[in-house]
Amino acid sequence: MALPKHTQTDPWRFALESLENSGRAVLVFVVDHSGSVPGVTGTRVVVSDTGFAGTIGGGAAEMQLIERAADHRGDPEIFRFRHTPSGGGTLCSGIQDFAIIALSRNDQEAVQSIVDTLEHHRTGILRLTPGRVEFKPGETRPHSFSNQDGSWEYLGPMGLEDTLYIIGGGHVALALSKVMATLPFRIVVLDDREDLPTMAANSWAHEQQVISFDDVGAHVDDGDRSWVVIMTFGHAHDRQVLEGLLGRTFAYLGLMGSKSKVRQMYAAMLADGIPEAELEGVKAPVGIPIGSHTPEEIAVSIAAEIIALRNRS
């Protein structure tokens, strides 16, 4: 059979529109995975009579699951796909467990709540069972999946759990926002300059604020979901912001600048009594060493460092 047509619409928005128009959509959701697979837990595709939206990693598994969903009319089911290095022309060798659920207008309220939550860059908990699709906005929790004696349950987060704070709204911040907007991060840009052209041009950040750097700590949340990159327009401002954030817990705290700039700044801070232990946790200079010079190259190096650290956690 011919595959349905792919659309770039967000899969949950596509599900809502499909339910409103035809009353039918099928959700294919990765509820669990192990090993090397193309689509990890939480990825999803929605299939309707007019097409499909989203991805579960591509390749043979996605093609087979989309075909299966297009014909799905019965009760929700769990389908296991085993990847082998020779299967489908890939080198993957892991397992994906998929929930295949025919959505109906009874699920419209939950899907609408998911769409609203995602569009407002908030979070919530998704619950999938053989009986229904449920969503609770405003909370989050790690992915979990249980499947015993034909009774199964998936619980997991929806929305942007991680926030990237870019402090300094210049050209590198603009480039970094563009790169990170393709990843599951809420992006907040902070600067103390009014009417900054690069902030006006930044359509990728979810939030931008003009603040006083004296009060920067009040605008940045603590925790292992907060990623912070300092890239203000001068050494004095970099130090001001860094001192305002030292001693707090973040998933990542990075400072942009040359090695000589970092050495000079650290020497001055140590001389003024800043504990060396507080500086040791700062990624400085920020980014992986790829010989970057342009804002776009620097943005790629920073994004790569953040992704590498996030995927190890």
- Please give the residue that has the higher pLDDT: either 114 or 74: 114
Per residue in 157-177, pLDDT (tens digit) is 999 889 999 999 999 999 999
* pLDDT of 4 higher than 70: no
pLDDT band for 1, please (50, 70, 90 cuts).
very low
Per residue in 22-71, pLDDT (tens digit) is 888 999 999 999 998 888 999 999 999 889 999 998 887 888 899 999 98
CA distances in angstroms from 178 to 1, 129, 201, listed in the order given: 38, 37, 11
Q: Does domain 162-312 have CATH number 3.40.50.261?
A: no
CA distances in angstroms from 92 to 34, 81, 86, 138, 273, listed in the order given: 11, 11, 8, 35, 52
Assess contact for 260 and 286: CB atoms under 8 A: no
Per residue in 282-299, pLDDT (tens digit) is 999 999 999 999 999 999
What is the predicted pLDDT for the residue at 74?
85
**pTM for the whole thing?**
0.77
Least confident of 89-103, 112-126, 142-156, 169-183: 89-103
What is the predicted pLDDT for the residue at 3?
56
What is the predicted pLDDT for the residue at 8?
79
Cα distance between residue 46 and residue 275, in whole Å? 52
* pLDDT of 86 higher than 60: no
* In the chain, domain spans: 6-159, 162-312
